[in-house]
Structure 1
Amino acid sequence: MVEIPTDRDVHTTRLKVRFYELDPYDHVNHTNYFGYFETARIEYLHEMGFGLVDMKEQGWQLVVVEAHARFLAAARYGEELTIHTWVQETGRVKSEWRQVMTRDGEEIAHLTIVAAFTDLEGRPRRVPEEFAAHMEKLLR
């Protein structure tokens, strides 16, 4: 189990499982969890003022370079899932994000990703100053 921190900003996203996300075993196919987690990260970035379109217009992007997921229980059609997302740490060219998915307060999956900051051609670049300043506030 991953403990959701209380010493930093944690974003919460709620999603409902749709029928087409199920596999032949009547539970959410594992590949869809990555989509759920990505949706939550994008919502969090947007809430922080770093929407994907805005980042692109400014010439930078966050690219997932590493992902580690653990699935603890199956999600099924119609269930409401809650995803808790936070930035664990930010360095000069990458950041580590953690996410926990719960159903009725019970952890069913968690994910750790490393995202690199790149220019639009995919070359590594330093964290944009405005993003670094925002992260510094969140991580205090």
Structure 2
Amino acid sequence: MSDREGHVGGPSDEDLSLPKATVAKMINELLPPEVTCAKETRDLVIECCVEFIHLISSEANEICEQESKKTIAPEHIINALKRLGFDSFTAEVEDVLKDHKQQQKDRERKADKIKDSGMTQEELEAKQAELFELSRQKFGQSAQK
């Protein structure tokens, strides 16, 4: 075990982070236009988010183990939030989970629709190319763009 690893084969907490550009974009969207955020502030927000995720996932893991499960389920996360006093977050988390499940169903239906079309891969690709060309024509773009 090296000094940079929390356990064999896994990253240490100092190796964990969030995409800086994404966090910066989220911060900028939340702040009024006349307010800017220093790099150090963004980095602190990232550290706090990573710590929060670690806290929630550790608690969810504990709940999971108490239930003799091997996989952390969304319900474990929701219960962890409640246990740790973040009850006010659960409604939004449940809404996001509901939206996610609906998006999965929609993707599966779309995949089934493609499979059930009876068209070969080549026919589907030709149809896609045709639709792209129609779109280019509609929006006045040449096929070279």
TM-score for the superposition, normalised by structure 1:
0.24
Query: Counting strand residues as a fraction of each chain, which structure ranks higher?
Result: 1
When Rg is computed on C-alpha atoms for both structures, the one with the higher figure is 2
TM-score for the superposition, normalised by structure 2:
0.23
Higher relative contact order (CA 8 A, sep 6+): 1
